[in-house]
Structure 1
């Protein structure tokens, strides 16, 4: 009976993950082939902001994998459902980004299968195969390195500044300090730090795990959009100022040209 349970805990998550991967692949292809302006980030953000957001994306992925490691190491956690959902979504997303022409990535596909998350959501039970937990800690640590290398390469290739690292360091260190000082779970710590950083108070918003994840998305989305709005307003003011200066310069050039013509006519 125990052997049958172990087999189920291995086979069922792989099958479910495969189905989710296929669905994600279908959606991904449809989005890539879509010509809708709504799905084009360039319609919402200037190029400079897109470059910064790409840097933020790499750093956020590192933070998410670090949080997964913390949750694997913390046995007693209240927000298991929300983290399980997030773990499945992130695992499917990362699997979609892999290049399967390499054997290493084919192996990583199976290592990414969130056995513990799927077992919890499907059977409302905890995975009892402990080597898988250790395997996922190593896999998530590997992807932290992968996304850090991508961040460094992208930053160096595009000649971008690394000021964003200072922002990330402040948030990350605050996240760790809050985690231990306040004695809260990683998700609660992330919510508290995010609210404090964006001047929304130092509190946990949301009663459920999904609600807390939603509050995180809303807080940082608002922060990013407000930053873009400020940058756009500044650019508009500068553009208007430059246009005014250009008109004044053209007017003076016209006056100078008229003076030269009048002077030539007198001669």
Structure 2
């Protein structure tokens, strides 16, 4: 039986913060930025500066880069404009540390925590001031850049995702991991249901188990990709099979990516960032 997570008719806007990445290579920045775009579907959203001189609300520091640690001292983040540190080995700089390889949800949680504190402290400063804080007056000279842009983003784009798996455990896992991003998520337990649902509703991405009762995932993927109405839907196969032959069969059927079982959370988020329009734009 198919299941669906209802989506409220009126989504509230996300609170937007400018995040400056310091000490990362261009490739690392692209990888980080693509995944940060997913936060546009969360209550707190983190975006790169649009302009070179745009001030940052929060700093993300690469502790593996000595120059980045020096830059951290120059920027001197504080409770109003905090920092989060990423690195292979912990460093004692007084800010939350996330060890590599990055656990995305843990990183998001640390960012949310320090920004929640920053918002509280900023509100206290405004209440105790005779004039409205303009975002620059109390900032250090290195951070006195352009004024902040509006802090709220438009309501989230409604994107639908279909999870097809006969395992209740896998469906529950996917429900939990996708819930923080407010997707419109449907569930199917077999291939026949998946094909019917894909024809009745437009999905941005389908997570598809290979081994299921009835028709298998390869055949489901082949039918989805051969249908003019559904061929543009991204199909990600969920499989415990990792042989070259299995991947060849999946590629032949038209799948866009593989995720091994059990599904690693970081790989799931990276895959979403790769295929969903809200993460790419």
TM-score, normalised relative to structure 2: 0.24
Higher strand fraction (1 or 2): 2
Higher helix fraction (1 or 2): 1
TM-score, normalised relative to structure 1: 0.25
